[in-house]
Amino acid sequence: MRAAEQAVMDHGTSEWELMHRAGTGAALWVSRMAAGRPVTVLCGPGNNGGDGYVIAETLRMDGYNVTVIAPIDPKTETASTAKTKFGGTVVPSGSLAAPVVVDCLFGYGLDREVSGDFTKLLEELKSSNCFKIAIDVPSSVASDDGKLLGPCVDYDLTLALGAWKPAHFLMPAAAIMGIKRLVPLALPMMEGAAELSHRPSFAIPAADTHKYKRGLVAVVEGEMPGAGLLASMAAMRSGAGYVKLLGDHSHPDAPADLVLESGDLDELLSDERIGCVLAGPGLGRTRQSREQLQAVLSSGKRCVIDADALHLLDRASLSGINPARIIVTPHEGELAALCKAFDVTALDKLGRARALHDAAGVTVLAKGPDTILTGSGRTIFFPRGSSWLSVAGSGDVLAGILASRFAHHHDPLAASQEAVWLHNEAARRSGPAFCASDLAGAVGQAFGAFL
Was 368 annotated as part of a binding site? yes
Report how many helices (DSSP H) and strands (DSSP E) the chain contains, helices first.
14, 17
> In b/e form, how buried is each residue of 109-142, taking b as 16+ CB within 10 angstroms?
bbeeebeeebeebbebbeebebbbbbbbbbbbbb
**Cα(first)–Cα(last) distance of the chain, in Å?**
35
Rounded CA separation 121/276 (Å):
54
Was 375 annotated as part of a binding site? no
Was 154 annotated as part of a binding site? no
User: Measuring CA to CA, which residue among 154, 94, 158, 141 is closest to residue 120?
Assistant: 94
Assess contact for 35 and 219: CB atoms under 8 A: no
Pairing of strands 378-381, 372-375: antiparallel
Rounded CA separation 401/211 (Å):
16
Contacts of 191 (CB under 8 A, 6+ apart): none
Rounded CA separation 34/30 (Å):
6
Was 163 annotated as part of a binding site? no
Torsion of CA 401, 405, 411, 413, to 10 degrees: -30
Assess contact for 388 and 427: CB atoms under 8 A: yes
Was 151 annotated as part of a binding site? no
Was 331 annotated as part of a binding site? yes
User: Measuring CA to CA, which residue among 108, 105, 87 is closest to residue 96?
Assistant: 105
The torsion region of residue 372 among left (phi > 0), alpha (psi -120 to 50) and beta comes to beta
What are the φ and ψ backbone dihedral angles of 226, each rounded to 5 degrees?
-60, -35
Was 227 annotated as part of a binding site? yes
Was 371 annotated as part of a binding site? yes
Rounded CA separation 53/408 (Å):
52
User: Measuring CA to CA, which residue among 151, 145, 160, 170 is closest to residue 113?
Assistant: 151
User: Measuring CA to CA, which residue among 12, 14, 92 is closest to residue 49?
Assistant: 92
Q: How crowded is the C-beta side of 428, counted as CA atoms within 13 Å?
A: 12
Residues placed in the known binding site for AMP: 367-371, 395
Q: Enumerate the known binding-site residues.
A: 227, 282, 331, 367-371, 395-396
Q: Can you say which residues are annotated as belonging to the binding site for (6S)-NADPHX?
A: 227, 282, 331, 396
